[in-house]
């Protein structure tokens, strides 16, 4: 089941719908679901995963304003 919001972006206070199959961290379900509770407390992990997701995505994403340290 697809989450209603993206767990990764939610950790940096961005509310965006889960992109589902367009996200490299989604395979019939969100692969980050087990990490959801840890994301808000670990900004380095979030920064790393956001960078990795950006590199793995096939198409362009809309511009997102990242907080300090999340560029």
- Mean pLDDT rounded to a whole number for the chain: 82
pTM tops 0.85, yes or no: no
pLDDT at 67: 54
**Which pLDDT value is given to residue 37?**
86
Share of the chain above pLDDT 90, in %: 32
**For residue 50, what are the β-bridge partners?**
none
pLDDT above 70 for 36: yes
Q: What's the pLDDT at 68?
A: 58
Helix (H, G, I), strand (E, B) or coil at 48: helix
The token pair at 52 is 């990795």
């Amino acid at each position: 089941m697809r989450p209603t919001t993206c767990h990764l972006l939610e950790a940096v206070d961005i509310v965006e719908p889960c992109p589902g199959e367009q996200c490299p961290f989604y395979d019939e379900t969100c692969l980050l679901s087990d990490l959801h509770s840890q994301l808000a407390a670990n900004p380095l992990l979030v920064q790393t995963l956001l960078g990795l997701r950006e590199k793995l995505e096939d198409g362009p994403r809309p511009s997102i304003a990242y907080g300090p340290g999340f560029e």
